[in-house]
Copies of this chain bind each other. A is one copy, B any other.
C-alpha cells in the first residue's frame, strides 16, 4: 500500500459548517503569524545557551515526550524497546523509532498526532505520513536535518518567531544557562532570543519531594541563610526569588498535589516547619506545610511582583514499579479530583483583594471550570485562569475550557495560551492549535449572533498576544 500523503489542511480544526468556517478563517488570518508568547514551559535552557545540535529523531521527538511514551507503553511496548533503560543496553535509536512509527495509528484522534504531523511537515518538510513503511525514511530525514545549522535550537527559536520563552527552574539551580543566554543577548551582534526562567520551588517546599532534606541544606548553602529555621528558610526564598527576578523571571510556579492553602500564625508555622525539618512528619503535616507555603509565596509576590502560578491535581508516579526503574515524567502521572473553593480560601481571604497581586490557576479537573474556577476568577481581582492544561491541552479540551469558563469569567479573566512543553519543536504547532480552536470558538459565537465579528477579532488578538504578555508581565 502506498503511504498516505502528509498534508496540513489549511482549514484544519475549523468547524465544517460553512458559515462558521468562513468566519474562523477570517479571524485566524489576523493572528496566524503573530509572534509566539510562551510564558510557561519546560524546555531546557541549555539548548539556547549552548546551541548544540540535537542528536537524532528518537532522542529529539520520541524519548523525551511523555505523551508519546505513555500511549506506546499502554499498548504493550516496553521502555527498553524505546531506547529508555539501562545505559549501554539501550535499543539503538533507529530501532526505537521503528517501534513508534509502526504504531503511529495509535495516535489517531490525539493531539500528539496533530503536533507531530506539523513538526514532520513544517519543520522537516516530510511529505508522506509516518507508518511502518516510512519510519526509516523519517528517521533518516530528521536525523540528517538535525546536523544542519538551521535546525540548531537558536535558529529554530528565531524561525518559529518566539518573542519570549519561559522555562522553570528549582531555587537550587544556579541558572548558568540563563546567565549565558543573557550574556549572549548583551554581546554585540549576539543572539537576541528572550529566554526567561520561572521560580519553581517544589523541591524545597514539598517535604515529600525526593531529596527534600538535602535540598534544604543546599538552599542554606546557596543563600547563606540557615534554612533549618523558619525565618532563615523564608529569607532564603526571598533571596532566591530576587536572584531569579534579576535573571529575568516574572513568575513563580507551584506544582502541588492539591490546591490547599493555609494561613497559620507564626508560632504554628515554626512548629510545623520544625516537624518538617526533623523528617518526622505525617502526610497531613506535609500537606499543611505545602498549603502554608502557597500563602507565604503569595505574600512574597506582593513584595517582589512575581506572578504566581498554581498547577495542582496530578498524582505523580502512580506506577511505582515504573518509577523505580525509569524515574519521573514517564507518562504515569494521573489527575485526581481537585477542590478549589475551600482550598484557596485562606490565601484569598488574605490577599484576594490586594491590588497588583496576580495568581494564575490551572486545573486537571475540568469539572471545576464552570463550578469553581470561573466563579472564583469572575470575582477575585487577583485571580486569572490558566488555559486548558496537559491532558486537556487539545482541541476538545480547549473547546470545553472556553465553553465552560467564558459565560461566567469572560475572556479577560483568562491568560491566553501556555504550551507547557518540553517538546521544543512542537511549540508552534501547539500555539497554532490554540489559535485555531479560539478562532473556531469565536466563529461560533459570531455565527450565532452572540458577538460581532470585529469584537471577536479583538478578543482573538487579546487571547493570542495581549493577555499573555499582560498576565505574565512580559
Measured between beta carbons, the chain B residues less than 8 angstroms from A214 are none
CB pair B448–A336 under 8 Å, yes or no, is no
Given A342-B315, A451-B108, A381 and B73 contact (CB-CB distance below 8 Å): yes
A4 to B4, CA, bound (A): 48
| Alpha-carbon gap, A353 to B76, bound state (A) | 9
Stretch binding the partner chain, chosen from A290-298, A370-378, A420-428? A370-378
Would you call B334 and A375 a contact (CB within 8 A)? yes
* Chain A window 73-91, contacts with chain B (Cβ cutoff 8 Å), 1 for yes, 0 for no: 1111000000000000000
With A74-B381, A366-B370, A448-B14 in contact, is A410–B109 under 8 Å at CB?
Answer: yes
Interface centre among A12, A74, A378, A452 (most CB of B within 10 A): A74
Q: A358 → chain B, closest Cβ, in Å?
A: 11
Known contacts A335-B341, A348-B318, A407-B109, A74 near B448 by CB under 8 Å: no
With an 8 Å Cβ cutoff, the count of chain A residues facing the other chain is 91
Bound complex: CA of A75 vs CA of B406, how far in Å? 15
Query: Within 8 Å of chain B (Cβ to Cβ): is A383?
Result: yes
A364 close to B (CB within 8 Å): yes
Choose among B375, B380, B452 the residue that contacts A391 (Cβ–Cβ < 8 A): B375
Cα–Cα distance between A284 and B376 once the two chains are bound (Å)? 26
Report if A17 contacts B (CB, 8 A).
yes
Cβ contact within 8 Å between B353 and A322: yes
Selected interface stretch from A28-36, A237-245, A393-401: A393-401
Contacts of A13 in B (CB 8 A): 448-450
Q: Which residues of B contact A376 (CB under 8 A)?
A: 318, 334
Contact for A70 among B349, B378, B395, CB less than 8 A: B378
A469 within 8 A of B: no
User: Are A375's CB and B407's CB within 8 A?
Assistant: no
B391 and A396 contact, CB distance less than 8 A: no
Cβ A397 vs Cβ B407 within 8 A: yes
Nearest Cβ on chain B to A24's Cβ, whole angstroms: 10
Complex Cα–Cα for A105 and B461 (A): 14
Q: Is A156 at the interface (CB under 8 A from chain B)? A: no
Q: Flag whether A26 is at the interface (Cβ < 8 A).
A: no
Q: Contacts A375-B391, A449-B13 given; indicate if A109 touches B332 (C-beta within 8 A).
A: no
A374-B16 Cα distance, complex, nearest whole Å: 27
In the bound complex, what is the Cα–Cα distance between A371 and B334 (angstroms)?
8
| Contact bitstring A140-158, B, C-beta under 8 A = 1, else 0 | 0000000000000000000
Q: Is the CB of B352 within 8 A of A370?
A: no
How many Å from the CB of A456 to the closest CB on chain B?
Answer: 8
Any B CB within 8 A of the CB of A459: yes
| Distance of A248 from chain B, by nearest CB (Å) | 26
- Give the residue of B111, B318, B349, B450 whose beta carbon is less than 8 angstroms from that of A341: B318
Chain A residues 92-148 with CB under 8 Å of chain B are 105-111, 114
Q: List 5 A-B contacts (CB under 8 A).
A: A76-B355, A109-B445, A331-B379, A370-B391, A371-B391
Given contacts A17-B17, A335-B341, 15 further A-B contacts (CB under 8 A): A73-B379, A76-B355, A107-B410, A109-B450, A111-B407, A315-B342, A318-B345, A318-B376, A319-B380, A334-B379, A336-B339, A336-B371, A366-B370, A366-B371, A396-B403
A-side interface residues toward B, CB under 8 Å? Answer: 4, 9, 11-17, 19-20, 70-71, 73-76, 105-111, 114, 315, 318-322, 331-337, 339, 341-342, 345, 348-349, 352-353, 355, 364-367, 370-372, 374-381, 383, 391-392, 394-397, 403-404, 406-413, 444-445, 447-452, 454-455, 458-459
